[in-house]
């Protein structure tokens, strides 16, 4: 299937204002796989860890996509990595330089957040999952509210280029179609390798990870086969991180 044919499988529904594209898609219980909701603004955009997502009109792409994978609960973490790869590749293709991925799926440029992914799922009879992949990318924001000003950036602020939202959306859906096909084929190694090649956090980065079980500080040593982040502490013990918040540890002088 060509990239263009792949993107044609998506049914894109466009809205001016919604509370959250994820919430709207979740409420569309009969929607078929590959339904896409895009909004120009969200009044209650949500991020991971119950955070809100800045979603002012004209500032970004706010998109949710429905996928219905079968019997794949165990590999959903790899799907989340594949979504991050898709966004990073779309940004590089513009081209905007310097895009990075912080595990598992934060999109950064120069250590500032430019995009994020919120994956929410439920299963139907234990067989087919309904997975909502919510993607927010700061495209043309020229400034951010005070509480985000130190940590967020946009493609416009990084490159000086105004980004065509529809073109970005279509290119992103092309990439997602490709990586979803790779994920469906079970080519986990391709996903791991692509993610590692796009992320400065993959290896040799000193990080702190906040997990439900406490804090782990150490050096990143790549991804395990299931997408877990391997962190080696100074004692040499390797931890497999399957959930947690990664932050960069700056070397003390």
Please give the residue ranges that form the binding site for ligand BTN (CB under 6 A): 20-22, 42, 45-48, 51, 53, 62-64, 106, 116-118, 134-136
- Measured on CA atoms in the order 163, 165, 171, 175, is the torsion positive or negative? positive
Closest to ligand BTN by CB, 24 vs 177, is 24
DSSP string, 208-249: EEEETTEEEEEEEEEE-TTSPEEEE-TTS-EEEESS-EEEEP
Relative to beta strand 238-241, strand 35-42 is unpaired
Supply the minimum distance, in Å, between the C-beta of residue 44 and ligand BTN. 7
Supply the minimum distance, in Å, between the C-beta of residue 213 and ligand BTN. 21
Q: Which residue is nearest to ligand BTN (CB)?
A: 116
Closest to ligand BTN by CB, 141 vs 188, is 141
User: Which residues touch 89 (CB under 8 Å, ≥6 apart)?
Assistant: 175, 198
Supply the minimum distance, in Å, between the C-beta of residue 151 and ligand BTN. 11
Closest to ligand BTN by CB, 21 vs 188, is 21
Supply the minimum distance, in Å, between the C-beta of residue 251 and ligand BTN. 26
Closest to ligand BTN by CB, 109 vs 118, is 118
Rounded to 5 degrees, what are φ and ψ at 251? -65, 135
DSSP string, 93-146: HTT---EEEETTTEEEETTEEEEEEEEEEEEETTTEEEEEEEEEEE-S-S---T
| Joined tokens for residue 80 | 């989340």
Q: Report helix, strand or coil for 12.
A: strand
Supply the minimum distance, in Å, between the C-beta of residue 30 and ligand BTN. 20
Closest to ligand BTN by CB, 63 vs 141, is 63
Closest to ligand BTN by CB, 54 vs 188, is 54
Instruction: In whole angstroms, give the CA distance from residue 214 to residue 179.
Output: 33
Supply the minimum distance, in Å, between the C-beta of residue 106 and ligand BTN. 6
């Amino acid at each position: 299937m060509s990239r263009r044919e792949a993107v044609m499988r998506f049914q894109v529904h466009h809205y001016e204002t919604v509370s959250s594209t994820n919430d709207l898609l979740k409420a569309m219980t009969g929607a078929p796989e590959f339904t896409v909701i895009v909004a120009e603004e969200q009044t209650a955009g949500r991020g991971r860890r119950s955070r809100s997502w800045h979603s002012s009109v004209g500032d970004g792409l706010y998109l949710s996509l429905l996928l219905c994978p079968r019997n794949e609960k165990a590999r959903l973490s790899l799907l989340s990595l594949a979504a991050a790869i898709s966004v990073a590749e779309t940004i590089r293709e513009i081209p905007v330089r310097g895009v990075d991925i912080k595990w598992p799926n934060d999109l950064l440029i120069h250590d500032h957040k430019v995009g994020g992914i919120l994956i929410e799922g439920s299963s139907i009879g234990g067989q087919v999952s309904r997975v909502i992949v919510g993607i927010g990318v700061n495209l043309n924001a020229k400034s951010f509210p005070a509480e985000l000003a130190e940590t967020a950036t946009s493609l416009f602020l990084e490159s000086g280029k105004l980004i065509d939202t529809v073109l970005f959306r279509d290119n992103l859906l092309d990439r997602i179609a490709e990586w979803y096909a790779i994920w469906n084929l079970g080519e986990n190694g391709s996903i791991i390798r692509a993610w590692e090649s796009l992320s400065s956090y993959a290896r040799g980065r000193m990080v702190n990870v906040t997990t439900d079980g406490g804090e782990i500080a150490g050096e990143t040593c790549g991804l395990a086969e299931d997408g877990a982040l391997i962190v080696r502490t100074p004692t040499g013990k390797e931890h497999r991180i399957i959930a947690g918040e990664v932050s960069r540890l700056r070397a003390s002088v």
